[in-house]
Structure 1
Amino acid sequence: MAYNPTDDLLLDWVVLRFLRRCSAMREEERRSTRRFWVHPIVAERPRRGHFMNLYADLRQHPDKFHNYVRMTVTSFDRLLADLRSGLRFQDTNMRRSYIHFIISSWTVCLNIKCIFFFRFLATGNSFASLHYEFLLGVSTISMIVRLTCEVIWKRLRPAVMPVPTAEDWIRISDGFLDSAQFPNCIGALDGKHIRVKKPAHSGSQFFNYKQYFSVVLLALADSDYKFIIVDIGAYGSSADAAVFRASRMGERLRSNQLTLPEPRCLPGSTGPPAPFIIVADEGFGLSRHVLRPFPRRGLDERRRIFNYRLTRARRYVECAFGILCSKWRVLHSSIQMDPDNVKKVVQACVILHNFVRIHDGASDGDVEGQHPTASIPLDNTLQGRPGVAGLFVREQFASYFVSAEGVVPWQMDAISGR
């Protein structure tokens, strides 16, 4: 009997059909034996859920509401109005799988999302804990947290953290001159480690000098403790000089794309115009637009005064980090998400920080200046030799701070420890 290739093809087809049928039967059996389609605890959400039993009462007591969601009732309603269109999912086939849990009232649905989302940020509670509080599925909570972070970043960023213009830089520098007596300063720069769980297959990339896994939040803050520019997601093992050098902020500063104003004379001075600068700690490289303190060895009085004046301006970013983490305590704990989603959570926290500062101002819960945060460690191997332009600018400011035009009456007492 002659060999016929068609017989092999037919046999393969029959075997494939049989295997597919067996797989479908197993899947059908698994579904039919599923214990619950909707768990009885979750089904009790309209009657026993945390939101249903607490939200209306919280709105009657503004101080309790502020403590619960970290903002006033007015700001919460304004935020809800800004995010409404982005959070009202359309009932498409793509989203039908997770829209079934929503209560019929759209208003209640949006409030539930925002309330438990802010509860997550304000406490750092796990998704499992929120599941028992709000009687929502863990996977549903995870999806809504991720999508809400994306909507907050896209919808609110242009309003609360816009790209600075030359006029904005001048306004920021005027704020530093009034509050810190540091002229031509357009921001305080520093980095903060955000604790995360160890990402899979990451080796030691995220392992920092404090012996835990983290990503880096690099931020430039103004004198009102608001963030101007942020860069999030660098490896925790990286030093701040490397993070800044690789960030978009650093690239735009080096290529003169930050629309900085033209240099201007320091107040009361008749000397050469000074450039607008960023103040930072020893972990950053010295350049024409980034000033760091003089090395601590062999300081004379003039250099000690400069270091003191620079520290007074740089503390604003430290305080901004303290306020951020005190309000959104998810940043105090290890965020149990992958790095991409951790970045979205931190982005949302930064935007909400600015939103609350703009609409609510300072509150009694703020801890300005009381809990300075630790910056990224100094790695001398990544510093490089400071440029001549940076050395000249630093000497120009140091001379100004001891001149009759730039001196402040308390600086001698401060450096002498009195």
Structure 2
Amino acid sequence: MAGVSGWPSSSDDSDEDIVLAVIISNKSKKRKRKEWVNEVCCERKEFGQFETLVKRNLSTDEDKFFNYFRMTPHQYGTVLSLVKDDIKKCDTRLRKTIPAEERLSICLRYLSTGDSYPTMYFAYRVGKSTICTIISEVCQAIWKNLKEEHIPIPSRAKWEEIAEEFDQKWNFPPLHWGH
């Protein structure tokens, strides 16, 4: 015996038919497809901070450049020349890559301010996951290319000197590891 709206009146059959109807209804609805590149990011070349601020304004004012990146333009150029080969990417048929100069700028701005990824996303108009990847890759390249000369691992004597200075300044003696 059919119930209201043509549904069977049996509770077992009715439950199964309702579940089936919901599944069919959900499958037939077209899902809104996510954009491959967000609209905000599509406007990077026109409105992104690298194009509008770094290239146009900061490149001509050394004090503002230093305030923005916490380094001089000369230091920036030196770092860029050391890491450029490790951070540049190749364009594809589908899209242009973010140039090494912009990748370095994103990383240095993040390191100098500690801005959040969403803030960097809106400022540079680069996706949050892309920003995360850029920061990681650029930091690895900086470490790889500058660690030997600028961030050497201290010798045992240097560590002991650092520990002694720390003890004198903070009255916190170093741990002795049985050596």
TM-score when normalising by structure 1: 0.31
- Which residues in structure 2 correspond to 1:329-344 (within 5 Å)? none
Alpha-carbon distance change, 37 to 62 in structure 1, aligned in 2, over 3 angstroms:
same
Letter of the 1:77 counterpart: G
Q: May I ask how many residue pairs the two structures share in their alignment?
A: 146
- Which residues in structure 2 correspond to 1:4-403 (within 5 Å)? 30=31, 33-56=32-55, 57-90=57-90, 100=95, 102-103=97-98, 109-164=99-154, 187-189=161-163, 278-281=164-167, 282-285=171-174
Per-residue deviation, 1:157: 0.3
* Aligned structure 1 segments of 4 or more residues deviating by more than 6 angstroms: none
Alpha-carbon distance change, 101 to 142 in structure 1, aligned in 2, over 3 angstroms:
farther
Q: Is the 8 A contact 2:59 2:73 kept in 1?
A: yes
Alpha-carbon distance change, 142 to 165 in structure 1, aligned in 2, over 3 angstroms:
closer
Partner Cα distance (2:66, 2:172) in 1 = 37
Q: Tell me what 2:9 maps to.
A: none
Alpha-carbon distance change, 55 to 284 in structure 1, aligned in 2, over 3 angstroms:
same
Partner Cα distance (2:54, 2:100) in 1 = 12
Q: Is the 8 A contact 2:89 2:97 kept in 1?
A: no
Letter of the 2:82 counterpart: D
Alpha-carbon distance change, 163 to 40 in structure 1, aligned in 2, over 3 angstroms:
closer
Alpha-carbon distance change, 119 to 137 in structure 1, aligned in 2, over 3 angstroms:
same
Alpha-carbon distance change, 135 to 153 in structure 1, aligned in 2, over 3 angstroms:
same
| Greater fraction of residues in helix | 2
Alpha-carbon distance change, 164 to 126 in structure 1, aligned in 2, over 3 angstroms:
closer
Letter of the 2:54 counterpart: Y
TM-score when normalising by structure 2: 0.69
Partner Cα distance (1:136, 1:101) in 2 = 13
Partner Cα distance (2:47, 2:109) in 1 = 18
Alpha-carbon distance change, 131 to 283 in structure 1, aligned in 2, over 3 angstroms:
same
Partner Cα distance (1:286, 1:60) in 2 = 50
Alpha-carbon distance change, 117 to 285 in structure 1, aligned in 2, over 3 angstroms:
closer
Query: After superposition, what is the alpha-carbon deviation per residue over 1:171-196, rounded to whole angstroms, capped at 9, x for unaligned?
Result: x7xxxxxxxxxxxx96323xxxxxxx
Partner Cα distance (1:286, 1:81) in 2 = 41
Partner Cα distance (1:121, 1:162) in 2 = 20
Structure 2 gaps of 5+ residues are: 1-26
Partner Cα distance (2:53, 2:105) in 1 = 10
Q: Is the 8 A contact 2:90 2:97 kept in 1?
A: no
Q: Tell me what 1:392 maps to.
A: none
Q: Is the 8 A contact 2:107 2:139 kept in 1?
A: no
Partner Cα distance (1:78, 1:52) in 2 = 21
Partner Cα distance (2:88, 2:172) in 1 = 44
Per-residue deviation, 1:284: 3.2
Letter of the 2:120 counterpart: L
Q: Percent identity?
A: 28
Alpha-carbon distance change, 61 to 73 in structure 1, aligned in 2, over 3 angstroms:
same
Per-residue deviation, 1:286: 6.3
Partner Cα distance (1:162, 1:34) in 2 = 50
Alpha-carbon distance change, 38 to 114 in structure 1, aligned in 2, over 3 angstroms:
same
Partner Cα distance (2:52, 2:107) in 1 = 17
Letter of the 1:50 counterpart: Q
Query: After superposition, what is the alpha-carbon deviation per residue over 1:224-255, rounded to whole angstroms, capped at 9, x for unaligned?
Result: xxxxxxxxxxxxxxxxxxxxxxxxxxxxxxxx
Alpha-carbon distance change, 162 to 114 in structure 1, aligned in 2, over 3 angstroms:
same
Alpha-carbon distance change, 90 to 48 in structure 1, aligned in 2, over 3 angstroms:
closer
**RMSD over equivalenced CA pairs, Å:** 3.0
Letter of the 1:188 counterpart: I
